[in-house]
C-alpha cells in the first residue's frame, strides 16, 4: 500500500496490483471471494486484513518473545532496537512497554550504562545505548579474544588427547 500511495495509484490500479502480487494460499483465497469483494478495492482490503489479522493469543506469544529477545554480541544497538520496535508494533505494545523490554534485553554491558543514565524514553535509551556501544568496543574485542584463547586451549588439549590415543 505504501508503494501505491507513492505512485499515486487510484483504487482500480491498487486492486489490479494486489491481484497480481498475491501468490499461493492468498491467491487461492482471492479466487474464492465473491464478485463484489473482488471488484472493489476497499472491500477487498477489509476482507484481506480480516483474514490476515494476528489472533489475540499470538500477541501474547509475541510479547513473550519480545521480552525474551537478547541483543547479540555482534548486533548493534540500533539494529537491535529496530528489531524490538518491529516486535512491539506486531503485538501492539506501547512505548513504555517497549522501553522496559528493550532495557531488559540489551547486552549487560550496555544495559548497565543505560540504566545509570536513566533515560526517559525510547529515543533517549537508543542515544545512551549508542554512546555505551561506542565507548565499550574494547571490552567486546577483549571478550572475543578471551574466547579465541579458550578455543585455542581446547584445540590444543584435543590434539594432545588425540596424540595419546594414537600412541596406544
CA–CA separation, 83 and 75 (whole Å)? 11
Q: Is 118 left (phi over 0), alpha (psi -120 to 50) or beta?
A: left
Q: What's the confidence (pLDDT) of residue 143?
A: 64
pLDDT tens string 6-15: 888 888 888 8
Q: What's the confidence (pLDDT) of residue 137?
A: 63
Q: What's the confidence (pLDDT) of residue 26?
A: 86
pLDDT tens string 105-147: 999 889 999 999 999 999 999 999 999 988 876 555 566 677 7
Q: DSSP letters of the chain? A: -HHHHHHT--HHHHHHHHHHH--HHHHHHHHTS-HHHHT-HHHHHHHHHHHTPPPHHHHHHHHHHHHH----TTS-HHHHHHHHHHHHHHHT--HHHHHHHHHHHS-HHHHHHHHHH--SSHHHHHHHHHHHHHHTHHHHHHHHHHHHHHHHHHHHHHHHHHHHHHH-
Q: What is the pTM of this model?
A: 0.55
Q: What's the confidence (pLDDT) of residue 80?
A: 93
CB 101 within 8 A of CB 84: yes
Mean pLDDT, residues 88-105 taken together: 89
CA–CA separation, 57 and 53 (whole Å)? 12
pLDDT band at 25 (very low <50, low <70, confident <90, very high): confident
Mean pLDDT, residues 26-53 taken together: 86
Q: Minimal CA–CA distance to 131: which of 71, 74, 77?
A: 77
pLDDT tens string 43-77: 888 888 888 776 776 777 777 888 888 998 888 99
Amino acid at each position: 500500500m505504501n508503494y501505491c500511495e507513492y505512485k499515486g495509484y487510484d483504487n482500480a490500479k491498487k486492486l489490479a496490483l494486489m491481484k497480481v502480487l498475491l501468490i499461493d494460499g492468498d491467491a487461492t483465497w482471492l479466487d474464492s471471494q465473491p464478485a463484489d469483494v473482488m471488484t472493489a478495492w476497499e472491500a477487498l482490503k477489509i476482507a484481506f486484513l480480516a483474514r490476515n489479522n494476528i489472533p489475540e493469543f499470538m500477541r501474547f506469544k509475541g510479547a513473550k518473545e519480545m521480552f525474551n529477545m537478547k541483543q547479540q554480541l555482534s548486533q548493534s544497538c540500533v539494529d537491535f532496537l529496530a528489531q524490538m520496535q518491529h516486535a512491539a508494533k506486531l503485538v501492539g505494545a506501547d512505548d513504555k512497554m517497549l522501553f522496559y523490554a528493550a532495557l531488559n534485553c540489551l547486552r549487560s554491558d550496555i544495559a548497565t550504562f543505560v540504566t545509570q543514565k536513566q533515560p526517559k524514553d525510547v529515543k533517549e535509551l537508543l542515544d545512551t545505548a549508542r554512546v555505551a556501544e561506542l565507548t565499550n568496543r574494547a571490552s567486546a574485542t577483549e571478550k572475543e579474544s578471551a574466547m579465541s584463547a579458550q578455543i585455542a586451549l581446547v584445540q590444543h588439549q584435543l590434539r594432545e588427547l588425540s596424540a595419546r590415543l594414537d600412541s596406544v
